[in-house]
Structure 1
């Protein structure tokens, strides 16, 4: 609701005192005309009501400051608990100081009959501050217990309830005063009506004017304060043309509400900026994001961020300038800030100083070249020596930076420091991974080369060994034949090892290919018994093969046979005398499942994740000195993966191992063709 503008006399603004003065003069006229009794009774009453109204408004404003300080402290407490950042402690202490000052003024301004309520507010507040002080001295990152949080919330609610009780009493008192004013008006009107109709009209007019000029604006101020206290940040006093005193109160309320809303907005944006900075794994992009974000957030003309040099290089500067900025920040970007304190304390100035050691003359000249007026410089870094600094500049003549702006720059500088450390570690890790990949590639190439080079002489050895065993070069005695058979077995082992190395190198180089045809898994499973029966019988192991065909898949027959040979060979090798190895195949929906189960030594549970790693061997196999290279299972896994299948392991140390291979079955159409 808008109050009509008051007419001004000779350009002077209308005041509450002026209104009352005019009312008093009019009443004197009525007294002169109709008698002095009504004037003597009504004048002091009006003044008393006005004073009480002013006291109520003042007390309520101070009470609002108490709640605002509590809200700031609670916000800082929650921010510190979430992030552990030091600026929240600083904000907490500021809010506490504001609270102490506000409660002291509240005790002074409150009426004697409100003293018990003020004391209740102070006691509840003291209890809440005692709880929160304990939480604020906790180390960063330490989370309070659920009981502590609940107790803090309960005390906070009690403080707010005490403050609202005072507001309620003040509201009731104001309403009572308003009713008193109305009764005075009515009484004066009735009294003067006996004397003269003119007196009645004058008093009625005076009462109406005073009511509209004072009580309505005050009511709107009280309403806006109530809305703000309930968390409606957009509430404002919107009337114009009210008396000067009420307009001053309204302006103060609007300013406080706007400032608090703006600070909350900027704090939220600065936290979002900190998150955006930390998302970057590149130091250059992190610094650029920080510079632009600070420039936009603080409405700056220039932002210069100097960070530590890369290895063996020069310090790196990031410069951001607003589109309408004046001055050249290039010289500022080349000027080192070697005087900045490592603990992040800021240098703040409304204008560039003409003399002094901080900043030195070289930097003062660079700031003038950038057209600087207000300036903030904050050092950042996690070591004793600062890793860099942030300088925010506004052109000469623009508003100076306030402490809240310095707090925001400090927060963003801290986030940037952590982001730079994170990015530096990421870059080092990336270089290390690249080096390891190069070493791994060299190793793979070495394995491939050695395997090929070993194959040729081994072929010659095997050929001549066959000639000797066939006795084409002459007859052999028993001892010679036994020695040649040992050479033959070890040649076969070496051939198998070379073949495994070749497959590993092909898999890793991407040259491993498959020649897929329709394969009956049941036939391959059945062949395992014949292939391993002699070796199993010698080891005292029973081999059982179970598969009801056909179980057709699209596969490379030789490579799939290699999978079964490797798995069955391992099962027989790791199964002690009297054990059983079961090789089975079955259909499971559209898939074909191959299972190799043994009753052998099993695998330790903590080593299972490493089974398919090249050259890995289980610790219990190594202790028993069971021969092996650690290449069989990685090759099996690679072949199964190339066929679009999966492999799983279920093992218990000392009880046995089951390895399950699942392959996509051949579509029915392919089987028919």
Structure 2
């Protein structure tokens, strides 16, 4: 009989014996133990219930006696409870015992309990009184005796159950021990057979595996012994050969990845671009075991840098360079002298460069070496593209900073240069207006036009200064403010302007407390309402409402003006932005008001939104965080009457 057949039979016997052991120990034994425990628990429960019968009847008797002595019906509560509980406990005892003798005694106990309750206790509880007081004592003494007898019978039943259960468990345990000894004997036979016919040959295979694990990739197992072991040895040899190939391939991939990372790292430090490119050429030459490396890279902000490694080798002819650059990026090109090269880049984001390697006397290059050259070229191209992007971003940032600085200088210069002559214009115009009676009608109109436009120019200068405020670093002082009060002030100031255009103005404001700068918030409200009046045709209407809840104060300004085209809404709060229909209808203004409102609202932690329909009007909603109204420092005296 072969080793495999003997082992199969041995393992089959072990499995069958083990299954038999499981069935006997856990299925049969578990069932017997569970049944035994269940019966024992049931009988023990009957014993406890029998004890409760006597306890509950004792409580009932105590209640009856207390009622007899005091006449207080509150003593009957234990009687009522004990009577019900005693009868229920008797039912539990009957359900828990299977012994016929115990059941007969239990019937007697039930009769005694009924007799005591009906003949003695019930008449007393109902107030009729008991004619047989000695009969009650006699029945209760009999109850104690019968209860004790029932308890002894239950205890005997429990002992009998424990004895029978223990005997059954011992029988199952003996069978399990026999099966376990059989398992040990069969296992010993299987182990002995395996040791003689398998372990020695497998030891040789183990030594071969240890040689392979120790780094000896040439170690191979000698196929010998049984057919199964020869198959294992051949499979081990195949696995060792495949592992050797995979490790070689993985080493090549790791080399390529390491070289790509090293090249990318070198291109991050371009303090000396020529030295960086030379180090890259040297790394490629060492990694690929090349005799010569020619490399040309175009560094953003520096220009094309060409190096040769090692130093002293001749430059490439122009026709070779031209031929290499026309090969297309990422493609390895083979030359007649055996050298190979790859083009790097060749577009606006990465100007054309190349990497060419040669090996004296060698014209054949492995696939791994070609992939290495291609991977390095790709890594260099990606790094150069990233450098190009960084260079352009840096240049763009510099240009934006210059433009921002020029903007600041422009605003500062314009406001300074305009304020001085504007002050003179306003001063002399006000002097002339003092003698209005001496001027002609045309001169008066001209003087009013000068005053009006000078004030417009003054307001524009103030808006420019306000827009430049964040860069100037000015501080905003805050205090609790009633926004409704500020809005009322602005409404009063603009009444004349609305009346001049015959506008219907609706104003509703409740007490709305916020934390903010009084001047800035008043300026924001004024500009919102001025815009509503300015862009509403004569005879139209303007509505301003202020509401507040526990968290937010809302200001809504609605007009029936010209509206805002949908395409102009996204840029509405940008400085100098003006809606197209406002320009077409020649509505005056520099386009700074809403930008100033947005900045003021943002500084106060709020938001502003707009809804508009062309030709029907606009609604601006300003929201600010609400605060609790401040408590006055002192309260008025309360006069008492008396």
TM-score, length of structure 2 as denominator length: 0.52
Q: Does structure 1 residue 465 correspond to structure 2 residue 433?
A: no
Rate the CA distance shift 1:500–1:415 in 2: closer, same or farther, 3 A. same
- Measured against aligned partners, the alpha-carbon deviations of 1:171-217 in whole angstroms (never above 9, x if no partner) come to xxxxxxxxxxxxxxxxxxxxxxxxxxxxxxxxxxxxx999x989x99
C-alpha change, 1:388 and 1:521, in structure 2 (3 Å) is: same
1:616 and 2:580 are equivalent in the alignment: no
Query: CA deviation digits over 1:412-431, x for unaligned, max 9?
Result: 42243244234314412431
Does residue 242 in structure 1 map to residue 223 in structure 2? yes
Superposed CA offset, 1:606-659 (max 9, x none): 322211222111112111111111111122222222333332233333343222
Matches for 1:368-379 after TM superposition, within 5 Å: 377-379=341-343
1:308 to 288, 298, 303: 298
Corresponding residue for residue 449 of structure 1: 413
Q: 2:501 aligns with which of 535, 539, 552?
A: 539
Secondary structure of the 2:480 match is: strand
Match of 2:396 in 1: 432
Quote the Cα distance in structure 1 between the aligned partners of 2:433 and 2:467: 32
**Whole-angstrom distance in 2 between the partners of 1:265 and 1:410:** 17
2:311 counterpart residue number = 331
| 3-state secondary structure, aligned to 2:311 | helix
**Aligned-residue RMSD, C-alpha:** 5.1
Measured in 2, the distance between the counterparts of 1:484 and 1:637 equals 35
Distance 2:624 2:434 in 1: 43
> Equivalent residue for 1:625?
586
Distance 1:456 1:495 in 2: 11
Kept in 2: contact 1:290–1:412 (CA 8 A): no
Structure 2 counterpart of 1:489, from 420, 433, 452: 452
CA distance in 2, matches of 1:462, 1:634: 27
Shift, 1:496, TM fit = 0.8
**Secondary structure of 2:545's aligned partner:** strand
Evaluate the alpha carbon distance shift between residue 511 and residue 213 of structure 1 in structure 2; reply closer, same or farther with a 3 A threshold: closer
Greater Rg over alpha carbons, structure? 2
For each residue in 1:495-514, what CA deviation from the matched residue of structure 2 results, as whole angstroms up to 9, or x when unmatched? 1111112222334x334432
1:256 to 2:242 alignment: yes
1:563 positional shift: 0.8
Separation in 2, partners of 1:485, 1:386: 66
| Structure 2 residue 466 is the aligned partner of structure 1 residue 503 | yes
1:465 deviates by 1.8
**Residues 525-536 of structure 1 mapped to structure 2, 5 A cutoff:** 525-536=487-498
Deviations 1:242-297 (A, max 9, x none): 26999777545433355357647866996899899999996849x9899889969x
| Contact 2:503 2:540 (8 Å CA) reproduced | yes
Deviates more, 1:652-661 or 1:454-463: 652-661
Provide Cα deviations, 1:154-173, integer angstroms capped at 9, x if missing partner: xxxxxxxxxxxxxxxxxxxx
CA distance in structure 2 between the aligned counterparts of 1:665 and 1:330, rounded to whole angstroms: 75
Query: What is the CA–CA distance in structure 1 between the aligned matches of 2:566 and 2:264, rounded to whole Å?
Result: 39
Q: Match for 1:520 among 475, 478, 482?
A: 482
Separation in 2, partners of 1:454, 1:386: 50
SS at match of 1:617: coil
| Residue in structure 2 matched with residue 389 of structure 1 by the alignment | 354
Cα separation, 1, equivalents of 2:221 and 2:426: 109
Q: Number of aligned residue pairs: give it.
A: 411
Aligned residue runs from structure 1 range 96-115, under 5 A = none
Gap regions ≥5 residues in structure 1: 1-207, 222-235, 320-328, 350-355, 360-375
Is the contact made by 1:643 and 1:663 (CA closer than 8 Å) also made in structure 2? Answer: yes
Q: 1:430 to 1:543 in 2, by over 3 A?
A: farther
SS of 2:378's equivalent in the other structure is: helix
* Number of the residue aligned with 2:86: none
SS in 1 for 2:505: strand
Partner of 2:544: 583
Alignment of 1:205-220 (within 5 A): none
Alignment counterpart, residue 552 of structure 1, candidates 514, 534, 537 = 514
SS at match of 1:308: strand
Q: Deviations over 1:35-66 (max 9, x none)?
A: xxxxxxxxxxxxxxxxxxxxxxxxxxxxxxxx
Q: 1:646-661, aligned counterparts within 5 Å?
A: 646-661=607-622
Residues 278 and 300 of structure 1: is their aligned pair in 2 closer, same or farther, counting only changes over 3 Å?
Answer: closer
2:494 counterpart SS class: helix
Q: How far apart in 1 are the matches of 2:632 and 2:378?
A: 67
Please say if residues 514 and 624 of structure 2, whose CA atoms lie closer than 8 Å, have aligned partners that are also in contact. no
Q: CA deviation at 1:316?
A: 6.4
On the 8 A contact 2:346/2:353 being kept in 1, the answer is no
Corresponding residue for 1:37? none
Verify: 1:662 aligned to 2:585, yes or no. no
Counterparts of 1:533 and 1:281, CA distance in 2: 69
What do the CA deviations read for 1:69-111 (whole angstroms, capped 9, x no partner)?
Answer: xxxxxxxxxxxxxxxxxxxxxxxxxxxxxxxxxxxxxxxxxxx
2:512/2:546 contact within 8 Å kept: no
What does 1:223-372 align with in structure 2 at a 5 Å threshold? 240-242=221-223, 250-260=236-246, 263=249, 284=270, 306-310=296-300, 313=303, 315=305, 331=311, 339=320, 341-342=324-325, 343=327, 344-346=330-332
- Secondary structure (helix, strand or coil) at the match of 1:434 reads helix
Inter-partner Cα distance in structure 1 for 2:552 and 2:313: 66
Query: Please, which runs of 5 or more residues in structure 2 have no aligned partner?
Result: 1-195, 210-216, 225-229, 635-642
Distance in 2 (alpha carbons) for counterparts of 1:524 and 1:634 = 20
Aligned to 1:606: 567
Task: Return closer, same or farther for 1:357/1:268 CA change in 2, 3 Å cut-off.
Answer: closer
Tell me if structure 2 keeps the 8 A contact 1:213–1:242: no
Shift of 1:534: 2.1
Q: Do the aligned residues in 2 keep the contact of 1:304 with 1:332 (CA within 8 Å)?
A: no
Report how far residue 301 of structure 1 moved.
7.7
Q: Work out whether residues 276 and 289 of structure 1, in 8 Å CA contact, stay in contact via their aligned partners in 2.
A: no
Structure 1 CA distance for aligned equivalents of residues 621 and 383 of structure 2: 46
Which of 355, 366, 370 does residue 402 from structure 1 map onto? 366
